[in-house]
Amino acid sequence: MAQLGNENPANDVGDGPNEMGDYLPEVSLGSGVVASQMECGMYHTCILEESSNQIKCWGENEYGKLGIGDEENRGNNVNEMGDYLPFLDLGTGSTIYDFNAGDSTSVFFPFLHDFFSQIFHSILVCYPQ
């Protein structure tokens, strides 16, 4: 499992003394990335980045529920978090207004702006698809 995102393959944090609270390392989301919202599924986590309004997800990726385009877990090995963790591609011009991480799925609600008709419309993006 990769739910911690601390790039620790053993993922055994919390079962011994001095591993929680102030001892628990921060999860690296990337240079300048500030989370404005976070959703936790059963074995994965997603954040909404404050200034760019983009999503990053890590953890167990069974059936591609992270939305990254593969089924590789993220956050349990080195070079998977921080700047190595990609933002999700939800389409050009989308603005996320809500999202949810469930047991085995991630659901995103982006607004797409059609500049020609000046109409906002919403679509539903789910992983796995």
With respect to residue 9, please indicate whether it lies within any of the assigned structural domains: no
Q: Is the pTM of this model over 0.95?
A: no
74-80 long-range contacts (CB < 8 A, ≥24 apart) are 74/2, 74/5, 75/2, 75/3, 75/4, 75/5, 75/6, 75/7, 75/27, 76/1, 76/2, 76/4, 76/7, 76/8, 76/9, 76/11, 77/7, 77/9, 78/7, 79/7, 80/2, 80/7
With respect to residue 43, please indicate whether it lies within any of the assigned structural domains: yes
Tell whether the model's pLDDT for residue 109 goes beyond 70.
Answer: no
Tell me the residue range of the domain where 117 lies.
21-127
With respect to residue 25, please indicate whether it lies within any of the assigned structural domains: yes
With respect to residue 66, please indicate whether it lies within any of the assigned structural domains: yes
Output the pLDDT for position 6. 66
With respect to residue 114, please indicate whether it lies within any of the assigned structural domains: yes
Q: How many folded domains does the chain comprise?
A: 1
With respect to residue 13, please indicate whether it lies within any of the assigned structural domains: no
With respect to residue 5, please indicate whether it lies within any of the assigned structural domains: no
For 38-65, the pLDDT digits (tens) are 988 888 889 999 888 888 999 988 888 8
